[in-house]
Every structure is written in structure tokens, then in C-alpha cells.
Amino acid sequence: MRCFYRSAISFAILLAAISSIASPALSADKRSEDKRPNIVFMFSDDHAPHAIGAYDGWLKSVNPTPNIDKLAKQGMLFKNSFCTNSICGPSRAVIQTGKHSHLNGFMHNGNNFNGDQQTFPKLLQKAGYETAMIGKWHLKSDPQGFDYWHVLPGQGAYYNPFFKTPQGRVKIEGHCTDIVTDLALDWLKEKRNKDVPFMLMCQHKAPHRTWMPAERHLTLYDDIDLPEPATLFDDYKDNASPARWQELEIDRHMHLIMDTKMTAPKDFDPKKAGSDRSGYMNLQQMTPKQLAAWNAAYGPKNDAFLKSPPTGKDLVRWKYQRYAKDYLRCVKGVDDSVGTIMKYLKDAGLEDNTIVMYSSDQGFFIGDHGWYDKRWMYDESMKMPLIIKWPGVTKPGSVNEKLVQNLDYAETFLNIAGAPIPADMQGSSLVPLLKGQSPKVWRDALYYHYYEFPSVHMVARHYGIRSEDFKLIRFYQFGEWEFYDLVNDPDELTNEYNNPEYASVIKQMKVDLAKLKDHYQDDTDVNEMPKEWQQKFRVKK
């Protein structure tokens, strides 16, 4: 066993150094000669790295992402990419600001993003870039810092969605992933100023719950059984108590009608389902052609289920197969979009001077630990994909293993544009890594803080520190801890917090965790949950 732990704070020294790399922005009268790279940032929702072939996860065998895999071969794959807060809106706010949730003010999905604050798109505009935001925004307030925007209201709908625009709401017929792609292409072809560099954010709803694939993908994977995650039947026996009273289990909480598309009986009342109703309600907005295709795909499978309904673990396995296939079908649509955008850039002669980045707002449990959704600090949730292609700069097919976070994206975009990086941003530019450099000083630990409790899925508030080898998590409302040896237990199945063999490591990590909290100015855990609430939620299965 490794009985050492490196200091988690050394990366703080790097922030000021990286911020000084940027060169002054070009003036407006030089725009026609501006050769700075364009930026296309393609972003999805809930796309776990292990559902990307290039990441060698257990779903690689079904070849879920050939176009994203091709992008990885053309650029750099970040193997250890993580979020700071695994929930949709907060992750996006961190990317906009380069600041942790407690400083940008968007700590959970119930918040409203203050668009008046400093964001990287505003700074790119000042640096002479034209900016566009298309797709899922999920920050409630209208986008600022963009010359053009078409965004989904809230989560948005998979079929025939509404979009918010500066001119008002518009409804567009079709599948959301394809519509976002078409809007992005239209802006690239017809609406942008071709004399200045651009930054396009093309952001998809997919593969977010409730996983409604495009018509052409409705029967994809029907002829195979997906591999099961090794932890599908985890019992959480040595976790802290929050792992046992969450509400995101495939077994107890995944709804047969709302989540797995079983046919609803005539007397079904969706308001009493106690689940995400968005997909069910979206069915009512489909065109006759779309609904016919939907029923043709799911009807026969639903009939087969009803003839011989599985029970127990067999039911869990059935629900997993149905859910995971729908999830991957939605992923397929996103992958198609990546291929379409990449083809356009090549055909239009933009490929050589355009940086292409693919990421998602966080990871996701695809049956891992018997769960769906995200929120936890466990790796399946905290890890997020990050692939960047920078022609002529980044070595094709390279893999970087440094610890990086979505906290770094804003600084990276500004650095690429030659714009100054504000001193109050908390991340580090990835440009040195993209250039193949190995900085002498880089972070050796990450800070994480999740706030949304009590709320959907009932995942307790927690913060923690993750190094390359270890992870320490504090569920501060309950006064409980978890500790994992990631080298010997990468699936985080054995909580070693009370194991005396790790006492010295845990002691040092607590010290470093306190230093990280202080460094990031986070004091938002001061209010412990009242004891009566602690007892209320200490419910074991």
C-alpha cells in the first residue's frame, strides 16, 4: 500500500504564471488580418467518458462514438478530466466564469445565473472574437456575451422543441440534437462575420434523461445485449449513510413508464408518477409521423415485456438494458452531430485554423453502482470527457494524464485568443498541455463541492479532495466521511476511512482539503443539518 501523499496545494503557484502567458488582443482595425484560431466547442449533457470508445470503457465494444473517437485520434484526449460540481447548471456556470460554484453564485439548478458578471465569452468579444451560443443553456437568465444565441428554455424538449432567441420564442420541428446541429451550421455558413475569428458553443440536450432518441436510432442495439457494469448490484454496505437513502437506483427509482417507455394504461396519471415527466409530456407534442415511428419501435418490445414480466434482479437487468440502450441511442445522435460539424469545417476550408473541443457537463452512472444520474463525487459522476483538436499545435492521438477540471476551460479559451486571463479566475490554462509541454508545477489534487440537497434524487451535500491515488469525501451535513484508494480500488467499492493502515494518508488529505477550501474561498459548509433531519434521512434499505 502507498503510505505517502503529495501536497495538494502546489498548483496554486501556477495560476498567476499561466495567467501571464496570454498576449494582448488585436485591435479592431486589424481584424481582417486576424489569424488567431477559431474555436468550436461541442458540449453534451450527461455523456460519461465510459460511453466514449476512445476512453476504453466497458461500453467500447458496441462502438458508440466513431466520430468522437476520430476527433481523439486527431487531437488530445484528457484522461483525468473532472468537474467541480456534478450537476448541469452549476457545471455550465463554472465554465462560463472560471470560478467555483460558491463564487459564481450558481450552486444548484434552482439558482439563477447572474449574467452581469465576468464571463469568458464577454472577454472574447473584447478581444475581437465573434461569439455564438446554440442549444442547451440551462442557466435560467438570458445569455450575455454572445453576438448570436438560440437556446433551449430550461431542459428543453427532445422532439419539436422551443428555443429562446433575442427576438422571442420559436418552435422548430424535428429532433433536438439535429436541430441544434442545423442551427450551428446555419450560423457558420450564413450568419457569422467571416472577417473575424469566432467561438461557437454547440450544446446538446442529449443524452440527458429521459433519453428520447431520434427516429433513425429508435431500434439501434435491438439485436444485442449491452455489457453490464461490474457494480450493477452494489449494496453500499460500507458507504456513508447517504449512499443508502439516495433516490437514483435503477431498481427502486427508475419508472417503467416515464423512464423505460413502457406503454401507459388509459387511466395513468403522470402527475402521480413522482418522476421526471418531461419525456412522457413530450410524446403529446410529437407529430403523427414521429409518434407512429415511436410506437412501432417500442410497442413490440413492450408487449413482449408484459407477456412475461421479469422480477427481482432480472427486472433490474431488463431496466438497465432498456435505459442504457436509449442513452446510447441519444449518444449516437450527438456523435452524428460531431461528424457533421467536422465535415463542414473541412469542406469549408476552416479545419486547419479551427480548434475543436468536445466535452460534457459531467459524467453519469450508466448502471454503475446500480444507479443512473450523477451528482456524486464518485468517479463515474465526477469524470467528464475532454478531447481537443488543435491543428499544427497539438500532437494527433496524444493522451494527457494531468488532473484538469472544467474550471480550466475559460482560461484556456482566453489564452488561445491571446486575451488576458483575469487574476480572479480560479483555473489554469490548458494551452501548455495542448502544446505538449510538461509544466514543472501543476495541480496534484482537485476540489469538489455538491450542494443540491434536499432535492431531486436526494444526494447529500458533500465536498472533497481527489488526488491521482486517493479520494476523501465529507458528507458534512451528517458528519460522515469516505476514503478510497483509487489505485487498488478504482470502482470505489471499499470505504477505507476507518482502516488504520491509511490513517497517515487521511490525516494529510484532511490538511490539504482544508487548504484547498481556503484557497478557493469556500466556507459554504458552515451550516450543519439539524439533528432531527439527520435522523430522518438515515434510512437504510
At 527, the pLDDT band (50, 70, 90 cuts) reads low
Rounded to 5 degrees, what are φ and ψ at 408? -90, -10
Q: Is the dihedral of CA 512, 518, 521, 523 positive or negative?
A: positive
Helix and strand numbers, DSSP H then E, in the chain: 15, 16
State the DSSP code for 87: S
Give the pLDDT confidence score for residue 280 in this predicted structure: 94
At 474, the pLDDT band (50, 70, 90 cuts) reads very high
pLDDT of residue 94 exceeding 60, the answer is: yes
Give the pLDDT confidence score for residue 19 in this predicted structure: 42
* In the chain, % of residues over pLDDT 90: 88
Q: What is the pLDDT of residues 226-269, one digit of tens each?
A: 999 999 999 999 999 999 999 999 999 999 999 999 999 989 99
Choose among 125, 69, 1, 111: nearest CA to 417.
125
Give the pLDDT confidence score for residue 6 in this predicted structure: 43
Please give the Cα distance from 363 to 91 (Å, whole number).
11
CB-count exposure of residue 188 (10 Å: 0-12, 13-18, 19+):
buried
Mean pLDDT of the chain: 92
Please give the Cα distance from 136 to 80 (Å, whole number).
25
- CA-based R_g, the chain, Å: 23
Range 182-208 average pLDDT: 98
Sheet holding 386-389, edge to edge: 168-171, 162-165, 148-152, 130-136, 198-203, 38-44, 354-360, 386-389, 76-78, 398-400
CB 207 within 8 A of CB 323: no
Give the pLDDT confidence score for residue 272 in this predicted structure: 86
Please give the Cα distance from 114 to 183 (Å, whole number).
26
CB 451 within 8 A of CB 108: yes
SS3 content of the chain, % helix, strand, coil (to 5): 35, 15, 50
Q: What is the pLDDT of residues 481-505, one digit of tens each?
A: 999 999 999 999 999 999 999 999 9
pLDDT of residue 16 exceeding 50, the answer is: no
Give the pLDDT confidence score for residue 458 in this predicted structure: 93
Least confident stretch, 19-23, 156-160, 441-445, 482-486:
19-23
What string of DSSP letters covers 370-431? GB-S--SSSHHHHB--EEEE-TTTSPTTEEE-S-EEGGGHHHHHHHHHTPPPPTT--S--SH
pLDDT of residue 26 exceeding 80, the answer is: no
Q: Which residues of 412-441 are buried (b: 16+ CB within 10 A; e: fewer)?
A: bbbbbbbbbbbeebbbbbbbbbbeeeeeee
Number of alpha carbons in the 13 Å side-chain half-sphere of residue 345:
25
CB-count exposure of residue 216 (10 Å: 0-12, 13-18, 19+):
middle
Q: What is the pLDDT of residues 166-185, one digit of tens each?
A: 999 999 999 999 999 999 99
Cell numbers given for 402: 494531468
Please give the Cα distance from 180 to 534 (Å, whole number).
44
Q: Where is pLDDT greater, at 14 or 235?
A: 235
At 414, the pLDDT band (50, 70, 90 cuts) reads very high
Give the pLDDT confidence score for residue 28 in this predicted structure: 41
* Residue count (the chain): 541
Give the pLDDT confidence score for residue 538 in this predicted structure: 59
Least confident stretch, 22-36, 184-198, 442-456, 465-479:
22-36
At residue 493, what is the residue type?
A: L
pLDDT of residue 4 exceeding 80, the answer is: no
Give the pLDDT confidence score for residue 34 in this predicted structure: 80
At 18, the pLDDT band (50, 70, 90 cuts) reads very low
pLDDT of residue 21 exceeding 50, the answer is: no
pLDDT of residue 351 exceeding 50, the answer is: yes
At 56, the pLDDT band (50, 70, 90 cuts) reads very high
Q: Which residues of 448-476 are buried (b: 16+ CB within 10 A; e: fewer)?
A: bbbbbbeebbbbbbbbbbbbebbbbbbbb
Q: Where is pLDDT greater, at 13 or 314?
A: 314
Give the pLDDT confidence score for residue 163 in this predicted structure: 98
Give the pLDDT confidence score for residue 507 in this predicted structure: 98
Least confident stretch, 38-47, 254-263, 326-335, 525-534:
525-534
CB 462 within 8 A of CB 349: no
State the DSSP code for 487: T
Please give the Cα distance from 327 to 247 (Å, whole number).
19
Here the contacts of 153-160 (C-beta below 8 Å, separation 24 or greater) are 155/205, 155/208, 155/278, 156/205, 157/278, 157/282, 157/285, 158/205, 158/206, 158/212, 158/279, 158/282, 159/212, 159/282, 159/285, 159/286, 159/290, 160/285, 160/286, 160/287, 160/290
Sheet holding 480-485, edge to edge: 445-450, 462-467, 470-475, 480-485
Give the other-Cβ count within 10 Å of 273's Cβ.
Answer: 16
CB-count exposure of residue 278 (10 Å: 0-12, 13-18, 19+):
middle
* In the chain, % of residues over pLDDT 70: 91
Range 314-319 average pLDDT: 98
Give the other-Cβ count within 10 Å of 56's Cβ.
Answer: 12
Please give the Cα distance from 406 to 429 (Å, whole number).
11
Give the pLDDT confidence score for residue 537 in this predicted structure: 66
